[in-house]
Amino acid sequence: MRSKPAYFALIITVVTLASAQDSKFPPAEQQLPVPECLTMRGLWEGGSKACTQNEHEAWLADITHWRNERRIRIGYNGSRYNLPALQWTQSSFIQPQMMVHDRYFYDPIAGKYTVDRYIEDLQKRYGGIDAVLIWPTYPNMGIDNRNQHDMIRSMPGGVSGVKQMIADFHRRGVRVLFPMMMWDQGTRDPGMPWPYAIATLMAEISADGINGDTQDGVPLAFTLAADEAGHPLAFEPEGGPSDEALAWNVMTWGQYQFPFTPLVDKYKWLEPRHMVNISDRWKRDKTDDLQFAFFNGVGWESWENIWGIWNGITPRDAEATRRIATIERAISPFLVSRDWEPMTPMLRYGVYASRWSMGEQSVWTIVNRNEYAVEGDQIEIRATPGIRYFDLYHGVELNPETRPGGRAVLTFPIEAKGYGAVLATNTAPDQKIVSLMSTMKSVTATPLSTYSHEWKVLPQQIVPIQATKAATTIPVGMIKIPEADFTFRVSGIEIEGFNDDGVDVQYSWEDSPRRFHEHTIHVNSFYIDKFPVTNADFKKFLDAIHYHPKDDLNFLRDWKDGLYPSGWENKPVTWVSQEDARAYAAWAGKRLPHEWEWQYAAQGPESRLYPWGNEWQPAAVPVPNRSRNMRGPDAVDAHSEGASPFGVMDLVGNVWQWTEEFVDEHTRAAIVRGGSYYQPQGSIWYFPQAYKLNEHGKLLLMSPSMDRSAALGFRCVADAR
């Protein structure tokens, strides 16, 4: 019997050997390293040298051995990639994550989805898309207890409207994915296991796939549930799945490191039919994303509307996207080949390529990582009679120059930080390649360098609020706020975006949206409702003019047969959109408050942190509701301790309150104030509270049906003489 030290030493030795025999180039997260000879080194480090043929072949043999052994170790079965229902994923190269609030996607005035307008904008700007990830949830989710599927059902037209919208995308050849958030455990319980809840709804609306938000692999249970529902789904986790999960996660986001030399995607290397969409949302220069995608024969998450913060693609990146996507779509059969040779030898420093072979034909996808153009000799090949070569990027045939030793050289230009593609074939190009070359010859006549690479922030405008008829006496139920010079200090509570230009909103005195705001404003005297509008108040409005919104999904959702629940007459009305609130205000001869008016009425001249002072007082607000069901707000007069210096009540902690609206070319958003009693638990990603008077919430707007909430009400103001 061995001694314990000797036994453990043996175990350590075996583990080390097992690890070492896997590869000399083990993956780092999602990427495989390249030979050291491809890493640029300073003279003091020994200098850089070109890789020899032996070094390249040794590296390729090593990672090929790793792939073969890894597939055995995980018991890999790639049969799912053969399913006809999932074949689309293998050529789905461009996939934006699209907020449902994007104004190109839905027109709230006409009350209809504008899928054609959305697609045509992307077609014009960067060559169109293959799939779209439609995002209806975060960052608004958690303002009430609607779960992720309730948010989909709240979209205009409900389930039937969403299904028709998806059909419109399908009509244009675009596949549709939705996200799933396993962190959503604080809102309404779906009443069934999540795999079945997701499979059932996706089958009902005819969606094509699911993005696993924050997930390192989507578990097999979700695939099985979708299959059981008779509607197979493509699952695309945000993070890298286990190697074993590659068998049922047929797509993945690529969250890469970007050294000078491109790295090989591990999942694409293990299973060439696997689609990766590189996601690098906050970066403003997309060159790395696009070059690594083209080198690996994968796709890109063309994400611009990031939770209502616009990070637009520059014209140069847009044109580069158009070009590489056009090529990838035309050569997609090559890009799933097991005979993929990454880092195939090239002749010029900083130029890297993958070679994809299919029978007697091969394609090179090439990137120039240098900041300067590279012309002249690029590829050396064996001279073979009958093989023709085509520069797919420039749309011309190449004539190899024969060199001594039976070698031939292909010569063509690649512009700075640019792209190339070459086809070798022993037959005449088919019609698809002929069409590609014609297109590329036309578009590449204009160099990428002529397109602007300057990133610009998207300006916003505040939506004007029309003044009311000036009141000469204090209206019933209102409090007069005297005119004053008020230092308006407020910051947005968005979870993401840090202090980047474009985050939060842009007031009229600012030249761009930003998170932190400070400005001294002269506030004219006005009247403000002492309490938020109650259910009883809103019932009088309905009875007076028989108001009923065109988009009535979720309108007064907690009422029944035109009546609010018994005992709720003095609770704030909720499930009203900003449009509903404006209609009530107009009927009452009032308007919604400007945000600084609301804040001044709450803070007073002392600029308090809370209406009652600078320290939190639990008795001044409702008891927080942390369950998955909402009990309803408190009566508006239930917490007298919460009065502001002017005597305004129920400003904080009961229900959020509508104020300002902001708009840019792509997004509408409302500033909501005061926070609410509802605090869903279990995740940092729910809509955060803004109880402090120097903070505000930014609620993305789509449609009245989507915008209405169980935790959002309003109060009105009127102008004074």
Q: What CATH number does the domain containing 245 carry?
A: 3.20.20.80
Question: Is residue 584 pLDDT above 60, yes or no?
Answer: yes
440 lies in the same domain as 588: no
CATH number for the domain spanning 436: value is: 2.60.40.1180
Please report the pLDDT score of residue 7 as a whole number. 38
Q: What is the pLDDT of residues 652-676, one digit of tens each?
A: 999 999 999 999 999 999 999 999 9
409 contacts 379 by C-beta, under 8 angstroms: yes
Q: Is 225 part of a structural domain of the chain?
A: yes
Please report the pLDDT score of residue 412 as a whole number. 98
Give the distance from CA 206 to its chain's centroid.
21
Q: Is 82 part of a structural domain of the chain?
A: no
Nearest to 178 by CA among 220, 142, 222: 222
**The sheet that has 131-135: what strands, in order across it?**
97-99, 131-135, 175-181, 209-216, 234-239
What are the Cα distances from residue 196, in Å, to 200, 225, 230, 246, 562?
Answer: 6, 6, 12, 21, 35
β-pairing verdict for 419-425 and 407-411: unpaired
β-pairing verdict for 478-481 and 526-529: antiparallel
Work out the average pLDDT over 191-209: 97
Instruction: Kindly report the length of the chain.
Output: 721
Please report the pLDDT score of residue 404 as a whole number. 86
Please report the pLDDT score of residue 39 as a whole number. 82
52 lies in the same domain as 128: no
Residue type, position 711, single letter: A
3-state SS string for 73-109:
HCCCCCHHHHCHHHHHHHHCCECCEEECCCCCCEECC
Please report the pLDDT score of residue 22 as a whole number. 67
Please report the pLDDT score of residue 19 as a whole number. 43
380 lies in the same domain as 472: no
For residue 51, what pLDDT band results from cuts at 50, 70 and 90?
A: confident
Residue 485 structure tokens: 């010079």
What are the Cα distances from residue 236, in Å, to 86, 275, 299, 425?
Answer: 12, 9, 13, 35
Please report the pLDDT score of residue 5 as a whole number. 41
Phi-psi region of 75 (alpha: psi -120 to 50; beta: other; left: phi over 0): left
Q: Provide the domain limits for residue 305.
A: 88-330
675 contacts 611 by C-beta, under 8 angstroms: no
Helices 194-205 and 220-228 sit at what angle, rounded to 10 degrees?
50
492 lies in the same domain as 562: yes
**Phi/psi at 441 (nearest 5 deg)?**
-60, -35
119 lies in the same domain as 31: no
Please report the pLDDT score of residue 456 as a whole number. 97
337 contacts 359 by C-beta, under 8 angstroms: no
Q: Is 455 part of a structural domain of the chain?
A: no
Helix (H) or strand (E) holding 119: helix 115-126
381 lies in the same domain as 527: no
The DSSP output letter for 450 is G
Residue 264 structure tokens: 């090989």
Please report the pLDDT score of residue 1 as a whole number. 39
Q: Where are the beta strands (DSSP E) in 604-711?
A: 656-663, 668-673, 695-701
Burial grade of 388 (CB within 10 A; 0-12, 13-18, 19 or more): middle
CB-CB neighbours of 437 under 10 Å: 21
Write the DSSP assignment of 203-269 as a string of letters: HHHT--EEEEEEEES--HHHHHHHHHTT---EEEEEEPPPTGGGGT--EEEE-----SS--EEHHHH
Please report the pLDDT score of residue 11 as a whole number. 37
HSE, side-chain direction, 13 A CA sphere, residue 285: 8
287 lies in the same domain as 363: no
Question: Is residue 13 pLDDT above 90, yes or no?
Answer: no
**Listed residues 17, 46, 73: the one ending a domain:** 73
Residue 551 structure tokens: 């988009």
Q: Is 238 part of a structural domain of the chain?
A: yes
Please report the pLDDT score of residue 21 as a whole number. 54
Write the DSSP assignment of 649-665 as a string of letters: ---SSS-EEEEEEEE-S
Please report the pLDDT score of residue 59 as a whole number. 95
Question: 3-state DSSP call for residue 65?
Answer: helix
183 lies in the same domain as 273: yes
Nearest to 79 by CA among 265, 309, 246: 246
HSE, side-chain direction, 13 A CA sphere, residue 230: 1
Work out the average pLDDT over 246-258: 96
User: Residue 139: is the preceding peptide bond cis (ω within 30°)?
Assistant: yes
Radius of gyration of the chain (CA): 30
Residue 555 structure tokens: 């309108």
Question: Is residue 327 pLDDT above 80, yes or no?
Answer: yes
Q: Is 213 part of a structural domain of the chain?
A: yes
Burial grade of 544 (CB within 10 A; 0-12, 13-18, 19 or more): exposed
CATH number for the domain spanning 557: value is: 3.90.1580.10
271 contacts 298 by C-beta, under 8 angstroms: no
Residue type, position 30, single letter: Q
Residue type, position 383, single letter: A
50 lies in the same domain as 108: no
Q: Is 78 part of a structural domain of the chain?
A: no
CA distance 635 to 568: 8
Q: How many domains does the chain have?
A: 4
b/e code 391-415 from CB counts within 10 Å (16+ = b): bbbbbeebebeeeeeeebbbebbbb
What are the residues whose beta carbons fall under 8 Å from the beta carbon of 174, sequence distance 6 or more?
119, 129, 130, 131, 132
Work out the average pLDDT over 363-386: 96
Question: Is residue 608 pLDDT above 80, yes or no?
Answer: yes
**Listed residues 450, 477, 494: the one ending a domain:** 450
Please report the pLDDT score of residue 40 as a whole number. 78
For residue 50, what pLDDT band results from cuts at 50, 70 and 90?
A: confident
Nearest to 533 by CA among 661, 633, 625: 633
Strand partners, 131: 175
The DSSP output letter for 610 is B
Please report the pLDDT score of residue 69 as a whole number. 95
CA distance 270 to 67: 6
**Listed residues 330, 362, 389: the one ending a domain:** 330
Strand partners, 351: 368
Work out the average pLDDT over 234-250: 96
495 lies in the same domain as 620: yes
Question: Is residue 315 pLDDT above 70, yes or no?
Answer: yes
627 contacts 188 by C-beta, under 8 angstroms: no
**Phi/psi at 119 (nearest 5 deg)?**
-65, -40
Question: Is residue 688 pLDDT above 70, yes or no?
Answer: yes
177 contacts 208 by C-beta, under 8 angstroms: yes
642 contacts 649 by C-beta, under 8 angstroms: yes
Q: Is 323 part of a structural domain of the chain?
A: yes
CA distance 502 to 512: 6
Q: Is 80 part of a structural domain of the chain?
A: no
471 lies in the same domain as 510: yes
325 lies in the same domain as 250: yes
Please report the pLDDT score of residue 47 as a whole number. 75
Nearest to 32 by CA among 2, 59, 50, 3: 59
Mean pLDDT score of the chain: 95
Work out the average pLDDT over 326-330: 98
CA distance 350 to 341: 17
- pLDDT above 90: percentage of residues in the chain: 93
